[in-house]
Amino acid sequence: MRILLTAGAARAFGPRLLAAHRGVELVTMGPGGTLSLGAGTPVERDASGVEVAWATTDLYREDRAVVRPFFGLVRRCETLRWFQSAAAGFDAPIFAELIKKGVIFTKSDVHAVPIAEYVLRAALDHCQDAKAWSVAQAARRWETHEFSEVFESTWVVVGLGSIGAAVATRARALGAHVIGVRRSAAAGGPVDEMVTPAELPAVLPRADIVALCAPANSSTEHLVDEGFLAAMQPGALLVNIGRGSVVDENALVAALDADELGAAVLDVFETEPLPEDSPLWAHPKVTVTPHDSANSARRVRRQFELFSDNLARYEQGEPLRNVVREADLV
C-alpha cells in the first residue's frame, strides 16, 4: 500500500509509520512537486500507485509549489481510496470532489483541545475584563475593578462536532449552563439543553457567550447576520473559531457600534489574511487572532496518532474515525 505525504511529514513520522505498519510504502512529495519512493527512488506521477493520501498540517505552510501539485495528484489519482485531512473543516471544493468520487474522506479532531482552551481563555478574559488589568499595569496604576464569572453563565455553542463538544465540556466544568445547537435536537452530548438551528433565535437572548463552532456550508453562510446579532444580549460575547463565512462582518461591526453586544473574539474571517483596511483590526470591542487557535505544539503528536490508528483500521477493513459523507456536505 502506497501512502502519499510531504517530505516534512516523511521526516517527522516516516520511521514510526513504517515500524507500526509493515505493508506500506511512502511516496514523498518534495519541493516543486517531485515524487520519490522510499529512500529516494524517483516516481512518475502517472505511476505513483498511491492508495492513501495524508495531508499533514505542514502542507499548508509550504509554498504553492508543494500545495498545488499535492492536490493536483490527489485529484487525478485513479488508485486513491482514502484521504486523511489535517483539518476539522471540509468546505474546500476538492474535498467535496473526492467524497463524491467515492474516496473515503476523514477529517481531523486533533485541534479540539487547543481550540476549546482558546474559547475558554476568551470567555475568562471577557468575564474578568482582563484588558483593564493590562492597561493599569502599563500605566503603573493600582486599580481594581469588579468582574463577572463563568459560573452560572449561559453559553450557546453552535455546532457540536469534536470542537463544539470540547468547548461545551470545559464550559460546564466551570459551572456554566450550556445550550447546544445542531441539526438534530436528540438527546446526547455534553450540554444541558439541545436545540435545532430553527430554535436558535429563541435562545440567543439568554446567552452570555455564543461560541461558533459550525462548519461552512449553505446553511451556515452569514448565519450571524443583523437579526442574529440584534437578538443577543447587549453585554454578550461572540467567539468565532468555526469559519469566517458564518459571520457577516459588516453586520457585526454595526452591531458592536450600536452596543448590541459586548465584544467579539475572532480567529477566522471572510477573507484571510484579514485585509489591512478591515475595521475589525482597530475596533475596541474586537480581538483578532490570525486563525491560530489550533496551533498547539501537541497537535502534531495527535496528528500522527490519529492517522496511525485510522491506518490500522483501514488495513483491517474496519470503520475509520471521523468519516465525512456526502450528506454532510450540505
Helical axes 112-128 vs 130-138, angle rounded to 10°: 70
Question: Of 47-56, 185-194, 248-257, 289-298, where does mean pLDDT reach its minimum?
Answer: 185-194
Q: What is the pLDDT of residue 113?
A: 97
Residue 185 has pLDDT above 80, yes or no: no
Give pLDDT, residue 241.
Answer: 98
pLDDT for res 276: 97
Q: Determine the pLDDT at residue 62.
A: 56
What residues act catalytically?
243, 272, 291
Amino acid at 116: A
DSSP codes joined into one string, 162-188? HHHHHHHHHHHHTT-EEEEE-S---S-
Predicted pLDDT of residue 64:
63
**Does residue 52 register a pLDDT over 90?**
yes
Site of grid cell 471577557: 126
The C-alpha angle 92, 95, 97, rounded to 5 degrees, equals 110
- The CB density around residue 50, as the number of other CB atoms within 10 Å, is 23
Grid cell for residue 268: 477566522
Whether residue 322 has pLDDT greater than 60: yes
| Rg value, the chain, Cα | 22
Residues 89-111, mean pLDDT to the nearest whole number: 95
Report pTM.
0.92
Cα distance between residue 162 and residue 141, in whole Å: 43
Q: Among 86-90, 135-139, 264-268, 284-288, where is mean pLDDT lowest? A: 86-90
Q: Give the pLDDT band of residue 154 (cuts 50, 70, 90).
A: very high
pLDDT band at 66 (very low <50, low <70, confident <90, very high): confident
Residue 235's pLDDT band, with cuts at 50, 70 and 90, is very high
Helices 64-76 and 93-100: crossing angle, nearest 10°? 20
Average of per-residue pLDDT across 245-258: 98
Burial of 321 (0-12, 13-18, 19+ CB in 10 A): middle
Sheet holding 50-54, edge to edge: 41-42, 35-37, 25-29, 2-6, 50-54, 82-84, 104-106
Q: Say what the pLDDT of residue 187 is.
A: 67
Q: Are 85 and 106 in contact (CB under 8 A)?
A: yes
- Domains plus CATH for the chain? 2-110+297-329 (3.40.50.720), 112-288 (3.40.50.720)
What does the block give as the cell for 11? 521526516
CA–CA dist 168, 192 (Å, integer): 9
Average pLDDT over residues 183-208: 92
pLDDT band per the 50, 70, 90 thresholds, residue 168: very high
User: What confidence category does residue 63 fall into, taking pLDDT thresholds of 50, 70 and 90?
Assistant: low
What confidence tens digit (pLDDT) does each residue in 170-182 have? 999 999 999 999 9
* Beta strand 41-42 pairing with 50-54: unpaired
193 CB burial (10 A radius; 0-12, 13-18, 19+): middle
**pLDDT of amino acid 211:** 98
- Note the pLDDT of residue 135: 97
